[in-house]
Amino acid sequence: MRVLVQGAGPAGVALALALRRHGIVTHLVDRASADRRDGFAVGLHGSGHRAVEQLGLLPALQAQAVPLGEARYLYADGREHFRYDYRRIASAMNGRMLMIMRDALQDVLIGTAKDIDIRFQLSVSALEQDAGGVSVALSDGSEERYDAVIGADGYRSGVRRLVFGDSADSVRNLGYRIAAWHCRPTKPLKASVVGMADVDRHATLYALPNGEAATLFCWRDTDEQRLNAAERQKRIFEVFGGWAEPVASALGDCAYWEGCFVDTVSQIEMPCWSKGRVALLGDAAWCPTFLSGQGTSLAVAGAVVLAEELADQAPQIAFASYERRLRPAVTRVQAGSRRIAGQYVPTSERSMRLQGWLAPALFSRLLLPIVARRMALAQIEFDTFV
How is the chain split into domains, by residue range?
A: 2-65+98-171+268-343
CA pair distance 63, 212, nearest whole angstrom:
17
Give domain 2-65+98-171+268-343's CATH superfamily. FAD/NAD(P)-binding domain (3.50.50.60)
Q: What is the DSSP letter of 22?
A: T
Residue 378 pLDDT exceeds 60: no
Is the pLDDT at 38 greater than 70? The verdict is: no
pLDDT score for 210: 86
Evaluate the omega torsion of the peptide bond into residue 246 and state whether it is cis, within 30 degrees of 0.
Answer: yes
Half-sphere exposure of 325 (CA within 13 A, CB side): 22
Q: Report strand pairing: 148-151 vs 2-6.
A: parallel
At residue 324, the pLDDT reads 97
pLDDT of residue 252: 84
**296-322 mean pLDDT:** 97
Give the pLDDT confidence of 117-151 residue by residue, as tens digits: 999 999 999 999 999 999 999 999 999 999 999 99
Band the pLDDT of 385: cuts 50, 70, 90: very low
Residues 6+ apart with CB under 8 A from 80: 72, 73, 74
Strand, helix or coil for residue 81? strand
Return d(Cα 226, Cα 375) in angstroms, integer.
32
342-358 burial, b for 16+ CB within 10 Å, e for fewer?
Answer: eebbbeeeebeeebbee
pLDDT higher than 80, residue 366: no
Report the mean per-residue pLDDT for the chain: 90
Say how far residue 181 (Cα) sits from the centre of its chain: 15
What are the distances in angstroms from CA 235 to CA 174, 238, 252, 342?
A: 18, 5, 14, 21
Length of the chain: 386
Q: Which residue has the higher pLDDT, 365 or 5?
A: 5
Distance of alpha carbon 48 from alpha carbon 46, whole angstroms: 5
pLDDT at 386 over 50: no
pLDDT of residue 236: 94
- Taking only the tens place, the pLDDT of each residue in 197-244 is 999 999 999 998 888 899 999 999 988 888 888 888 899 999 999 999
Q: What is the pLDDT of residue 360?
A: 76
Q: What amino acid is encoded at 38 in this protein?
A: D
Across 20-35, average pLDDT: 93
